[in-house]
Amino acid sequence: MKVSKLFSVGLFVFVLVFVSCQSDQPFEDTIGTWNIPEDQIFFGGVSKDGIPSLFDPETIPASEADYLSDENLVVGIVVDGQARAYPYAILDWHEVVNETSPGNSLITISYCPLTGTAIVFDGNNAGRNLTFGVSGLLFNNNLIMFDRQTDSHWPQMRLQSDQGVLKDTRQKVIPSIETSWGTWKKLFPNSVILSTDTGHDRPYNIPGSAYPGYTNLNSKFLFPVTLNDRRLPTKQRIHGVMFGEGPDNYKTKVYLIDLAQKSRLINDVVEDNPVLVVDSGKDNFVISYLRDVNGQTLTFRLDEDVTEFPFTFKDDETSSTWNVLGEAIDGPLAGMKLERTSSYNAYWFAWGAFFRRAEIHGQ
């Protein structure tokens, strides 16, 4: 496929000169056959590596991160026993972070500001150690990464390679949590977080400065989408759960993220799979689990005697006590852990474009 078949659309003025001038490297003239509609792949206004990814950036203790406010969003992981946070104030400008974990595991943190999606991947895949960069291409406004080992292309939200040597290779997703910096610190007070000393000159201390106004609830997205599902406001943040084999066959259900929502549990069934959604809107925290433990389907209720932040809950079947991280901390099931669903947070317009006929909780 010739690049001339890809539409090119410039970003709004607010995609600052910092980003657009990072690289003069043109994209390759011929990039091969894609799994996704080639006429729906857009140039995002920057060339390959025009948005610079980070490699093993410096981290600092949570107590030293004075450039963030408690309400600013981060995506966090726990890997090799260490809690690590990646603030959107930095990811807005870099989108991809390649890191070696304390246990020497290769991980990739990806974030697309246009679709509001943060997903963490295992860097060891298909028998290779893969590191990723920003291709400058978009599908449904979503980041398309490329790996530096084979130059295959990976649309982030599809969780697989859709072009190149590794086409059809699935990503190995590492569970992560999107929440506010204040909530993450309470959950993991010993966490480390990215330092602003990245080697790049960006206004990291001004969250949202890369895309001013873009996160407003009804603001427009920048590029065409394959489907504009108007059942929810464009930039409504949702937690999406998916089941099925491959991105074209996923069956999904979404749960609205509402900062005014009181703490709640949703015992649900998605495509015959018992699911628990743990929602603490005021703490900017939504996470989901499978409800099956040791072959038994559990039903959960809020615990009146809260023993851990932000709340705890019990299962009806054994009266074991659980925390929001899915860990049984007391009772017959103490020591057990709920399995995370295949899920991540996104703006509604993006989820609706990628996963047609998505079910919306409460509708």
Are residues 138 and 71 both part of a single domain? yes
Rounded average pLDDT over 51-72: 98
Q: Quote the domain boundaries for residue 307.
A: 237-360
Are residues 248 and 130 both part of a single domain? no
Are residues 121 and 176 both part of a single domain? yes
Domain boundary among 194, 229, 247: 194
Residue 5: band (very low, low, confident or very high) from pLDDT cuts 50, 70, 90:
very low
Q: Does residue 361 sit in helix, strand or coil? A: coil
Tell me how many degrees the CA angle 113-117-121 measures, rounded to the nearest 5.
120
Rounded average pLDDT over 219-232: 98
Rounded average pLDDT over 13-22: 38
Please answer whether residues 313 and 303 qualify as being in contact, where contact means their C-beta atoms are separated by less than 8 angstroms: yes
Are residues 170 and 270 both part of a single domain? no
- One-letter amino acid at 96 equals V
The total domain count for the chain is: 2
- One-letter amino acid at 155 equals P
Instruction: Please report whether residue 22 resides in a domain.
Output: no
- pLDDT value at 14 more than 80: no
Tokens 């390959």 -> residue: 48
Instruction: Please report whether residue 204 resides in a domain.
Output: no
Closest of 110, 65, 101, 98 to residue 83, by C-alpha = 101
Q: pTM to 2 decimals?
A: 0.92
Tell me how many degrees the CA angle 283-275-334 measures, rounded to the nearest 5.
75
Closest of 18, 25, 14 to residue 136, by C-alpha = 25
Instruction: Please report whether residue 277 resides in a domain.
Output: yes
Share of the chain residues as helix, strand and coil, in percent rounded to the nearest 5: 10, 40, 50
Residue 359: band (very low, low, confident or very high) from pLDDT cuts 50, 70, 90:
very high
Instruction: Please report whether residue 214 resides in a domain.
Output: no
Residue 244: band (very low, low, confident or very high) from pLDDT cuts 50, 70, 90:
very high
Question: Residue 39 — φ and ψ, nearest 5°?
Answer: -80, 0
Are residues 147 and 66 both part of a single domain? yes
Q: Which residue has the higher pLDDT, 240 or 8?
A: 240
Strands (E), 59-131: 59-61, 73-79, 82-87, 96-100, 106-112, 117-122, 124-125, 128-129
Domain boundary among 194, 229, 250: 194
Residue 31: band (very low, low, confident or very high) from pLDDT cuts 50, 70, 90:
low
Structure tokens at 165: 């040597």
Domain boundary among 194, 212, 227: 194
Question: Residue 346 — φ and ψ, nearest 5°?
Answer: -160, 170
Per-residue pLDDT tens digits for 91-139? 999 999 999 998 999 999 999 999 999 999 999 998 999 999 999 999 9
Instruction: Please report whether residue 224 resides in a domain.
Output: no
Q: Report residue 243 CA to chain centroid gap.
A: 17
Q: What is the pLDDT of residue 274?
A: 99
Are residues 86 and 180 both part of a single domain? yes
CATH number of the domain within which 276 lies: 2.102.10
- pLDDT value at 150 more than 90: yes
Question: Residue 326 — φ and ψ, nearest 5°?
Answer: 80, 20
CA distance linking residue 59 with residue 326, whole number of Å: 27
Residue 266 burial (C-beta neighbours within 10 Å; 0-12, 13-18, 19+): middle
CA distance linking residue 107 with residue 51, whole number of Å: 19
Instruction: Please report whether residue 310 resides in a domain.
Output: yes
